[in-house]
Amino acid sequence: MTPLLSVRDLHCSFETTRGHVHAVQGVSLDLNVGETLALVGESGCGKTTLARCILGLQRATSGEVLLDGENLVGLSRREARRHRPRMQCVFQDPFASLNSRKRVEDLIREPLDVHRIGTAAERRRQVQELMERVGLRPDWGKRFPHEFSGGQRQRISIARALALRPAVLICDEPVSALDVSVQAQIVNLLWELQRDLGMSYLFITHDLMLVENFADRVAMMYKGRIVEEGRAVDVWRSPRHEFTKTLIDAIPIPDPDVRMGSGSSVFGR
Ligand SMILES: Nc1ncnc2c1ncn2[C@@H]1O[C@H](COP(=O)(O)OP(=O)(O)OP(=O)(O)O)[C@@H](O)[C@H]1O
């Protein structure tokens, strides 16, 4: 099966006042249709830079990002625009990523306006549907982001990302700015959306436990490289790289009275 998204030997470097930073060092990854690949690594290992290169927000130094077999690296802005609807992103901070001066309905409608999808009436209707879909009341559309909680704001970001019906959703630490109780709700929402819409997720996190039951495969990133990759269950049971072992060892042993039965998950999968 040809992967939907394939990253091939991707490098990204920065020249800074402190010298040369080789943030992404020859990363290769595949993401299949309907699959969740968790990209797990500690702060500064290059996860966001990799995501930005995949999305075309950051120019890769070399390598390929193939979407349905077409290489996106080095495309002109105009050519890249054609692919943009197919890959969308939900960022970490729902406070910073939403323009605070825009009403929620305008924020969610914006991608449809930019890509001129549907009539004005169809776009308005779609905004209502998207709000319902992510668990927001459609009559809240006239409100501004500051009137919402962190979890609700992340729902707004998700609705906005879904507007163009992407095939790939890149979730860059989408719950790490949220309270633990809210984290589970947002992860559950993402899981339901994937089940219903069939999207593929690249789920970036520093928290291995968060993706324990959510990811199909896990890629461990360490100092700019993928050091271990495999089915989530295999990586979890028999980690090979020291970095993975350290992360797993740091996870508290769950209280059996709280986690109902072996193998069950707080995220219900
Ligand atoms: N625009 C930039 N200019 C210079 N250096 C950068 C730039 N963006 C990232 N870096 C550097 O690249 C390295 C990887 O950063 P990156 O943000 O990709 O890591 P990360 O794993 O996403 O970390 P975090 O989880 O903290 O966001 C870091 O050393 C960072 O300082």
Q: Is the pLDDT at 147 greater than 80, yes or no?
A: yes
The answer to the question of residue 257 being in a domain is: no
pLDDT tens digits along 17-71: 989 999 999 999 999 999 999 999 999 999 999 999 999 989 999 999 999 999 9
Q: Is the pLDDT at 268 greater than 70, yes or no?
A: no
Q: Which of 72-76, 218-222, 251-255 shows the lowest mean pLDDT across its residues?
A: 251-255
The answer to the question of residue 149 being in a domain is: yes
> Does the C-beta of 23 come closer than 6 Å to ligand 1?
yes
State how far the alpha carbon of 169 is from the alpha carbons of 35, 95, 121, 251, 253, in Å. 11, 19, 26, 27, 31
Are 267 and 186 a contacting pair, CB within 8 Å? Answer: no
Query: 257 falls in which pLDDT band (50, 70, 90)?
Result: low
Pairwise pLDDT comparison (247 vs 193), residue with the higher score: 193
Q: Is the pLDDT at 260 greater than 80, yes or no?
A: no
Q: Is the pLDDT at 196 greater than 70, yes or no?
A: yes
The answer to the question of residue 265 being in a domain is: no
Q: Say which CATH number the domain at 182 has.
A: 3.40.50.300
The answer to the question of residue 269 being in a domain is: no
Ligand 1 midpoint to CA 54 (Å):
15
pLDDT tens digits along 75-133: 887 888 888 899 999 998 877 888 989 999 999 999 999 989 999 999 999 999 999 99
- The stretch 9-16 carries a mean pLDDT of 95
Ligand 1 midpoint to CA 45 (Å):
7
Range of 44's domain? Answer: 5-249
- Residue carrying structure tokens 């559309």: 141
pLDDT computed for residue 258 by the predictor: 52
Are 218 and 230 a contacting pair, CB within 8 Å? Answer: yes
Ligand 1 midpoint to CA 246 (Å):
22
> If you average pLDDT over every residue of the chain, what do you get?
90
CA-wise closest residue to 158 among 111, 120, 108, 195: 108
Which residue's CA is the nearest one to ligand 1's atom 24?
Answer: 43
Contacts of 30 (CB under 8 A, 6+ apart): 3, 5, 6, 7, 37
Q: What percent of the chain has pLDDT over 70?
A: 94
- The stretch 215-227 carries a mean pLDDT of 95
The answer to the question of residue 256 being in a domain is: no
| Integer Rg of the chain from CA | 19
State how far the alpha carbon of 112 is from the alpha carbons of 14, 120, 143, 159, 163, in Å. 34, 10, 19, 12, 7
Model's pTM, two decimal places?
0.89
Which residue's CA is the nearest one to ligand 1's atom 1?
Answer: 14
> Does the C-beta of 41 come closer than 6 Å to ligand 1?
yes
Reading the block at residue 128, the tokens are: 């209502």
CA 58 to ligand 1: nearest atom: 1
pLDDT computed for residue 83 by the predictor: 86
> Taking the CB of residue 238, how many other CB atoms lie within 10 A of it?
10
The answer to the question of residue 126 being in a domain is: yes
> Does the C-beta of 17 come closer than 6 Å to ligand 1?
no
pLDDT computed for residue 188 by the predictor: 93
Q: Is the pLDDT at 180 greater than 70, yes or no?
A: yes
> Does the C-beta of 151 come closer than 6 Å to ligand 1?
no
The answer to the question of residue 264 being in a domain is: no
- The stretch 188-198 carries a mean pLDDT of 94
pLDDT computed for residue 256 by the predictor: 60
Q: Is the pLDDT at 254 greater than 90, yes or no?
A: no
- The stretch 136-152 carries a mean pLDDT of 94
> Does the C-beta of 47 come closer than 6 Å to ligand 1?
yes
How many independent structural domains does the chain possess?
1
pLDDT computed for residue 246 by the predictor: 87
DSSP secondary structure letters along 150-166: HHHHHHHHHHHHHTT--
The answer to the question of residue 254 being in a domain is: no
Rounded to whole angstroms, the Cα distance separating 13 from 58 reads 10
